[in-house]
Amino acid sequence: MKNKIAKIALLSTAIVSLAGIEAYAASTNWNVSLWGKRRAFTEHVEKLAELVSEKTNGEFTMNISYGGLSKNKENLDGISIGAFEMAQFCAGYHRDKNPTITVLELPFLGVSTLEEEVKVANAVYDHPAVKKDLARWNAVLFMTSPMPQYNLAGVGDAPSGLESFDGMRVRATGGLGNAFETIGAVPTSVTATEAYTALESGVVDAVSFAQHAHLAFRTIDIAKWWTTNLNPGTVNCPVVVNSDAYEALPDAHREALDSSKEEAIQHYLDNYGKLLEKWEGILKEKGVQKVEFTDEQIAAFKEKAATPVREAWMKEMNAAGVPAEELYQLVNDTLGK
Q: What is the pLDDT of residues 186-229, one digit of tens each?
A: 999 888 899 999 999 999 999 999 999 999 999 999 999 999 99
In the prediction, which pLDDT does 173 show?
87
pLDDT tens digits, 61-89: 999 999 999 999 999 999 999 999 999 99
Strand order in the sheet with 151-154: 186-188, 169-171, 206-209, 151-154, 225-227, 289-291
Q: Which residues pair with 87 in a beta bridge?
A: 33, 240
In the prediction, which pLDDT does 22 show?
42
pTM, two decimals, is 0.86
Do the beta carbons of residue 177 and residue 234 sit within 8 Å? no
What is the set of domains in the chain, with CATH numbers?
151-234+278-336 (3.40.190.170)
* C-alpha–C-alpha distance, residues 47 and 50, integer Å: 5
Helix axes 114-125, 128-135, angle to 10 degrees: 80
Q: For residues 88-120, b (16+ Cβ closer than 10 Å) or e, as one string?
A: bbbbbbbbebbbbbbbbbbbbbebeebeebbbb
SS (H, E, C) the chain: CHHHHHHHHHHHHHHHHHHHHHHHHHCEEEEEEECCCCCHHHHHHHHHHHHHHHHCCCCEEEEEEECCCCCHHHHHHHHHCCCCCEEECCHHHCCCCCHHHHHHHCCCCCCCCHHHHHHHHHHHHCCHHHHHHHHCCCEEEEECCCCCCCEEEECCCCCCCHHHHCCCEEECCHHHHHHHHCCCCEEECCCHHHHHHHHHHCCCCEEEECHHHHHHCCHHHHCCEEECCCCCCCCCCCEEEEHHHHHHCCHHHHHHHHHHHHHHHHHHHHHHHHHHHHHHHHHHHHCCEEECCCHHHHHHHHHHHHHHHHHHHHHHHHHCCCCHHHHHHHHHHHHHC
Phi-psi region of 36 (alpha: psi -120 to 50; beta: other; left: phi over 0): left
In the prediction, which pLDDT does 311 show?
96
Q: Do strands 60-66 and 239-242 pair parallel, antiparallel, or not at all (unpaired)?
A: unpaired
Q: Mark the ranges of the chain whose per-residue pLDDT is less than 50.
A: 2-25
* C-alpha–C-alpha distance, residues 316 and 287, integer Å: 43
